[in-house]
């Protein structure tokens, strides 16, 4: 059965008639053509590589149907940077070498996007926040350092600039 839906992804509206069983991750990749959101665990929700921000909350796009996101706002990895400037979390990963193969990185960044809106966190809280995304390469040490770098960056931002980075 088909249904017409509209989803705003990274500020652009995508209207399409889709099969009601189409997953949000497939809508993002196939309809919107945004391939930064990865599918890693055969759509079982275990790896977190498909994490996006839906109406301000980090969600696993392989566990949602596209029709469930009808009328919603989605932020993907492609929407983080602004005007050729990396988002503070992207900059943290760049500066502190928080990635190796990069497959899990979009999911980690989108998970941490929500987390960093309140930047005061301990190492344990950082690790807990990341626990829904599996990285098979890094051992997480550099990722934690990247998040700490991002936290310091976000804390140093003036309130208006902080709001701009976290306002979809």
Residue 109 in any domain: the answer is yes
Same domain for 93 and 71, yes or no, is no
**E strands, 68-125, in order:** 73-75
Residue 60 in any domain: the answer is yes
Range of the domain at 12: 2-78
Per-residue pLDDT of the chain (168 residues; tens, 9 = 90+): 999 999 999 999 999 999 999 999 999 999 999 999 999 887 788 899 999 999 999 999 999 999 999 999 999 999 999 988 999 999 999 999 988 888 889 999 999 998 888 878 888 999 999 888 888 887 788 999 999 999 999 999 999 998 889 875
Which of the listed residues 78, 107, 127 is the one where a domain comes to its end?
A: 78
Same domain for 92 and 161, yes or no, is yes
Same domain for 26 and 70, yes or no, is yes
Structure tokens at 80: 């983080």
Same domain for 96 and 68, yes or no, is no
Helices then strands, each counted (H, E), the chain: 6, 5
Same domain for 100 and 129, yes or no, is yes
């Amino acid at each position: 059965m088909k249904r017409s839906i509209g989803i705003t992804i990274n500020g652009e509206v995508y209207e399409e008639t889709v099969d009601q069983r189409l997953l949000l991750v497939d809508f993002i990749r196939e309809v919107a053509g945004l391939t930064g959101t990865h599918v890693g665990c055969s759509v079982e929700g275990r790896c977190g590589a498909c994490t996006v921000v839906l109406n301000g909350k980090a969600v696993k796009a392989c566990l949602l149907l596209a029709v469930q996101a009808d009328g919603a706002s989605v932020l993907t990895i492609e929407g983080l940077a602004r005007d050729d400037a990396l988002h503070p979390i992207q900059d943290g990963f760049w500066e502190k070498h928080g990635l190796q193969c990069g497959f899990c990185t979009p999911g980690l960044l989108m998970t941490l996007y929500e987390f960093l809106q309140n930047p005061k966190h301990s190492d344990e809280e950082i690790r807990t926040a990341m626990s829904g995304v599996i990285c098979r390469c890094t051992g997480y040490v550099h990722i934690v350092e990247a998040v700490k770098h991002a936290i310091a960056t976000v804390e140093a931002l003036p309130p208006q600039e902080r709001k701009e980075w976290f306002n979809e």
